[in-house]
Amino acid sequence: MLRTAGFCVLLLLATASAQPLPPVADKDYVICENITQNVYAMTPTGVVITLYTAPTSTTITANWVAMARNNRDVLLTFFTGAPYGLSVLTPGGTVATYATTWRADNIRLLDDRRLLWNGTTVTGPALTNAAMATDDVAGTPVILVSGMPTTVLNGAENEDTGLWAFSSQGTSPAGGLTEADIAAGMIVRTLATGLAQVNTVDFNRHDGNFYATEFGSVANPASAEGAVYQVTPAGAITTIASGLALDRVNSMEVMQDGNLLIGSRHNVLIMNTAGTVLSTLPFQVNRSFPATGATVYGSNRLQLDTTGGTTPGSGVGVRVSFRAAAAANGTYVLAAALSERPGLVIGSEILDLQPDILTLLVLGGALPTVFQNFAGALDAAGDNVPPILVQIPATLPSGLNLRVFIAGVAVGGAQIVGVTETEAFTIR
């Protein structure tokens, strides 16, 4: 199982030395592969440079890359070799590796400042499949949901509901998706089955569906035919693409423009949600070097901080971070809404908010004590200068269970230069 997301990251042992990385531009692709363990950057036109050359002694298998919470550093999980766990790579070349007893097959940023993992234990508890979390810095993983189907590999949040879908090749029959409530620590239902060697899953905020990749035949890896599935929240499955063109698909990420970034054995594919391949970008001549992850650099533009809770009287922090050069010393504007779709097409990207009365109130400045600093300055690095906060009114009734969606844009030179992803929290 192999994966996606971020500026680039390396897969080195705790003793491996760091190498400064060349700069990677906003919206470049970052790719890892698990034979040489090198890390690459690729421009949208297919120009490839090697960002990191791993020592020949490296035995780790890189398994997933993700932009860190600061949208600048990169996180990598790995599952073969020793130690298991997480590596963090900064653009300056500083590396920290945190070993755990868990084989890590996924990593996602949780709004409570933790990192969600899922995978299997190597040593330790007699638990073989679970979703777990650890903090951003280091620490022993904490089990969130136990008793997951065997070979649970990857997970993605349904931003509409806050529930998570986890892929598992061991779901009966023949692989599938399991929906779980990680806050309650429980499995909700089997969302879909019959997806065979399913590995990656991601939620598409633009249309409200999950998209999942199928790895291909293990019995005949030389000619493995992969697949890409669309799975609705109701569990309806559509195969949008399959065949040898999807050669050993290992990763998939829904991009801000609505298309899918897919990592295969030696190509990066740009595919629309109808299953049409828009671009085929080779990154490896050798088909034996499969991509273990592919992501868009700088794609983690908005994050929430729910560590203070989401009940009436609590405050939810918001961070924005734009890596586009045009956003430096610019401004940002955020908005809120009670639903995501249909969103707004802005340039080549999609803002996933459906404007409503809440949107009008926020943009009009009518709720300044609730939605604090929802417009402000960006610094030279493209990060928000004033602290951004949603102060939930203490006068609201408890048990409201109201989902609030937040997204926004960066403005530079009087033009919109970037759109954030949409994040949501539920007022409990």
DSSP track, 239-293: EEEEEEEEET--EEEE-TTS-EEEE-SSEEEEE-TTS-EEEEEE--S-TTS-EEE
pLDDT of residue 95: 60
pLDDT > 70? residue 387: yes
What are the Cα distances from residue 251, in Å, to 89, 176, 263, 411?
Answer: 20, 16, 5, 31
DSSP code of 225?
A: E
Would you say 78 and 14 are in contact if contact means Cβ atoms under 8 Å apart?
no
Same fold across 29-296 and 302-427 = no
Average pLDDT over residues 75-89: 63
Would you say 30 and 7 are in contact if contact means Cβ atoms under 8 Å apart?
yes
Domain residue ranges of the chain, discontinuous segments joined by +: 29-296, 302-427
pLDDT band for 216, please (50, 70, 90 cuts): confident
pLDDT of residue 20: 42
- Mean pLDDT of all residues in the chain? 83
Q: What is the pLDDT of residues 341-359, one digit of tens each?
A: 999 999 999 999 999 999 9
pLDDT of residue 14: 26
pLDDT band for 7, please (50, 70, 90 cuts): very low
Question: Hey, what CATH topology would domain 302-427 get?
Answer: S-adenosyl-L-methionine-dependent methyltransferases (2.20.130)
Q: What is the pLDDT of residues 91-137, one digit of tens each?
A: 655 566 665 656 667 789 999 998 887 766 555 544 568 888 876 55
pLDDT of residue 40: 79
pLDDT of residue 348: 93
CATH of domain 29-296: 2.120.10.30
Query: Per DSSP, which regions of 138-232 are E strands?
Result: 142-146, 152-157, 164-168, 176-181, 186-193, 198-204, 209-214, 225-231
Sign of CA dihedral 388, 393, 399, 402: negative
CB neighbour list of residue 368: distance below 8 Å, 6 or more residues apart: none
pLDDT band for 266, please (50, 70, 90 cuts): confident
